A and B are shown apart, each in its own frame.
Chain A
C-alpha cells in the first residue's frame, strides 16, 4: 500500500484507539495528579474546555492510553507482534505504578493497539507506519491548537457521559 495512505489510516485508527479508551476510563472527569489540574485550568483560561483541558493534562502527567499506543506500536515494530504488545503493556504498567496512578488505561491501550496492528498487517500496513501515525494523532491533540482540540475532546466526553463536574 502507498506509504502516505497507510500513515493516514494508521493515524485515524490510533487516534480513535487512544481517545476512546482514555475517555471511557474517565480521564476528562478529574485530574489524576495535581499537575494535570494546572494544565487544564491554563487551557481553560485561553478559551478552551475544562474537560478537554483535564484530558490534555492527564496525557502530559501520567502514562495513559496514548503512551500505551505509541509504546505498543514501537514494541510491535522492533520485537514482533504478539510478544511486543505484552512487553509494552508490562513496561507501561510499571510506569503507571511509578507515577502512583492506579488506572489501567496504559495497559489496555497497548493491548488493543497490538490487536489492531495484527489485523492491519493483513491489509498491508506495517507497524512502523503506526508509529508515525500515532505521532501525528498526538500532534493534532497537543500540538496545533489547544482550545479547539479541548473543545472537541469535551464534546466527545459529553457524548460518552464522562464530562467533568468541577469548575
Chain B
C-alpha cells in the first residue's frame, strides 16, 4: 500500500516535470522526485544498508541540483547553433 502511493506520486511528478514550461518549475518537480525515489528505495529494501543507499542518493542528488541551479544563474540566455 505504501509503495503504491509513493509510486503514483513519483510518476505524477515526472510527468509534470516533462510538460512544465519554466525551468525553475522543473527543478522543483525534480527535487520532489528525488524525495520520492529515496523513500521508495527505503521502503523496498527494509534493512540498514537500504537506508544508507537512500541517504547517499538523496544527498548526491541535492548536490547535483545545486550545481544545475548555479549553472542556470550563470547562463541566463543560451546561444544555440542552428
Q: Which residues of A line the B interface, CB within 8 A?
A: 3, 7, 33-39, 41-43, 45-46, 56-57, 59-63, 66-67, 70-71, 74-75, 77-79, 84, 87-88, 91-92, 94-95, 98-99, 128-129, 131-132, 134-136, 138-139, 142-143, 146
Q: Are B2 and A61 in contact (CB under 8 A)?
A: no
C-alpha spacing A34/B16, complex, angstroms: 25
Q: Which of A7, A33, A132 contacts B66 (CB 8 A)?
A: A33
CB neighbours (8 Å) of B13 from chain A are 139, 143
CB neighbours (8 Å) of A43 from chain B are 24
Q: Which residues of B line the A interface, CB within 8 A?
A: 1-2, 5-6, 9, 12-13, 16, 22-25, 27-29, 31-32, 35-36, 38-39, 42-43, 46-48, 50-51, 54-55, 58-59, 62-63, 65-70, 72-73
26 A–B contacts, CB within 8 A, in A order: A7-B5, A38-B72, A42-B24, A59-B31, A60-B31, A60-B66, A63-B58, A63-B59, A67-B62, A70-B35, A74-B42, A74-B51, A78-B46, A84-B51, A95-B62, A128-B2, A128-B43, A129-B2, A131-B39, A132-B39, A134-B39, A139-B32, A142-B31, A143-B9, A143-B16, A143-B32
